[in-house]
Amino acid sequence: MDFFNLHTHKYTNQPNVSELVNQYPQEFDATIPNYSIGIHPWFIIEERIEADLAIIESKLQEANCLAVGECGLDKRIEVSMELQQLVFEKQLLLAQHYQKPVVIHCVAAFQEVIAITKKLNISVPMLIHGFSKNAQVAKQLVNNGFYISFGKYLLLNQDLEAVFKSVPNNRFFLETDTVDEGIEAVYELAAKYRGISLEEIQELVNSNYNEVFDFRIFQKH
């Protein structure tokens, strides 16, 4: 594939772009060919958790559901950390059971995310999306087996160049999340920052895709 977008909220249906589209249990769109599905910490509704988890579990048994998420922890919202951790752990266990990677939303809670995945012995690939922190945090995540996805903040913050360059070739992904720029713009900037060609960046991401998603081929309409 030419371009793989690890995390986006908008399906663009371009022939040269494969997209992992973020879906929510109560707003599921069956026309999207490849997706992740999860309970985002911002949208936890306590009385609906079990119903949402049941939808997620049913979708995880379908081939074009490639990952759980986005899910995770966010210390800058009013939802209690206790409830966030409960919902996150339940989704991690589903991912482990159905052997699907996890796309993780993490704000100011990296130590907690690492600790929870260790406690639960999670062995499926774990991907931190939308990374915007420093090289020290990135190194700790990589050392604990995480993949790191760059996109929106790579485009917006030049200070992330050094952080992006510090992440090993076999541990990064690229994404657009909610920005208007296409995934090609992210790839071009990533290639520039690493001092390699666009084709070489494509090869690296494709290799990482094959590693994480176990050669699951993207389905096209």
Secondary structure (H, E, C), the chain: CCEEEEEECCCCCCCCEEEEEEECHHHCCCCCCCEEECCCHHHCCHHHHHHHHHHHHHHHCCCCEEEEEEEEEECCCCCCHHHHHHHHHHHHHHHHHHCCCEEEEEECCHHHHHHHHHHCCCCCCEEECCCCCCHHHHHHHHHCCEEEEECHHHHHCCCHHHHHHHCCHHHEEECCECCCCCHHHHHHHHHHHHCCCHHHHHHHHHHHHHHHCCCCCCCCC
Q: Is 217 within a domain?
A: no
Q: Would you say 97 is a known binding-site residue?
A: no
Q: Is 221 within a domain?
A: no
Q: Find the CATH number of the domain harbouring 118.
A: 3.20.20.140
Pairing verdict, β 146-150 and 17-23: unpaired
Q: Is 194 within a domain?
A: yes
Q: Which structural domain range is residue 28 located in?
A: 3-212
Q: Would you say 203 is a known binding-site residue?
A: no
Strand order in the sheet with 17-23: 3-8, 17-23, 35-37, 65-74, 102-107, 126-128, 146-150, 172-174
Query: If pLDDT is split at 50, 70 and 90, which confidence band does 221 have?
Result: very low
Look at residue 219 and tell me whether its pLDDT is greater than 80.
no
Average pLDDT estimate for 56-62? 97
Q: Is 107 within a domain?
A: yes
Look at residue 12 and tell me whether its pLDDT is greater than 90.
yes
Q: Would you say 105 is a known binding-site residue?
A: yes
List phi, psi (to 5°) of 64. -90, 5
How many domains are contained in the chain?
1
Between helix 183-194 and helix 198-212 the angle, nearest 10°, is 110
Q: Is 219 within a domain?
A: no
pLDDT tens by residue, 90-148: 999 999 999 999 999 999 999 999 999 999 999 999 999 999 999 999 999 999 999 99
pLDDT tens by residue, 162-208: 999 999 999 999 999 999 999 999 999 999 999 999 999 999 999 99
Task: Tell which residue, 113, 88, 99, has the closest CA to residue 212.
Answer: 99
